[in-house]
Structures are given as structure tokens and as C-alpha cells.
Amino acid sequence: MQEEQTPDLSQMNRPLSTQEVSRYLGLCERQVLRMVHNGQIPAKKFGHNWYYSPRKIAQLVGMLDQ
């Protein structure tokens, strides 16, 4: 079985979806959205969808790994 590699978030040029962020952080989507509403994860809402800066999520992942 081949292990799935996580792309380097800081090199991505497009915003991430809630689903992608939940996979990177190892959380369910509902918990990610709860953290957005609590100000723990920075995000912007366009229409009905939330979008996340790959660089900011990479920083968050780095802080969680420490």
C-alpha cells in the first residue's frame, strides 16, 4: 500500500476548502468550522463556502507539530 503524501501547503497558490483543511489538520469538518467561528483558524467566507490561506494553515500545522 502506498502512503499518501501531504503537499507543501506553503507552496500552494489557491485557497483551501474546509474539507482539505480538515484532512491536513486531522479534524472533522464540523470541528474546523467551529474553530473558524472561535477565531482559532483564519478563513474568509464567499457565498456559502469558507476558504483558507494555505500559508496560514501551514503555519498552524507547524505550531501543532511543536
Q: What is the DSSP string of 11-63?
A: G--SPBPHHHHHHHHT--HHHHHHHHHTTSS--EEETTEEEB-HHHHHHHHHH
Provide the whole-model pTM: 0.77
Question: Is 1 within the bounds of a domain?
Answer: no
Q: What does the pLDDT read at residue 39?
A: 96
**Number of structural domains the chain divides into:** 1
Parent domain of 19? 12-61
pLDDT in tens, the chain (66 residues): 444 555 666 567 899 999 999 998 999 999 999 999 999 999 999 999 999 999 999 888 776 555
Q: Which amino acid is at 50?
A: W
Q: What does the pLDDT read at residue 65?
A: 59
Return the ∠ at Cα 19 (arms to 26 and 56), rounded to 5°. Answer: 75
Question: Is 7 within the bounds of a domain?
Answer: no
Question: Is 36 within the bounds of a domain?
Answer: yes
Question: Is 46 within the bounds of a domain?
Answer: yes
Question: Is 5 within the bounds of a domain?
Answer: no
Cβ contacts of 47 within 8 Å, gap of 6 or more: none
Q: CATH number, domain at 46? A: 1.10.10.10
Q: What does the pLDDT read at residue 2?
A: 45
- Between the two ends of the chain, the Cα-to-Cα distance in Å is 29
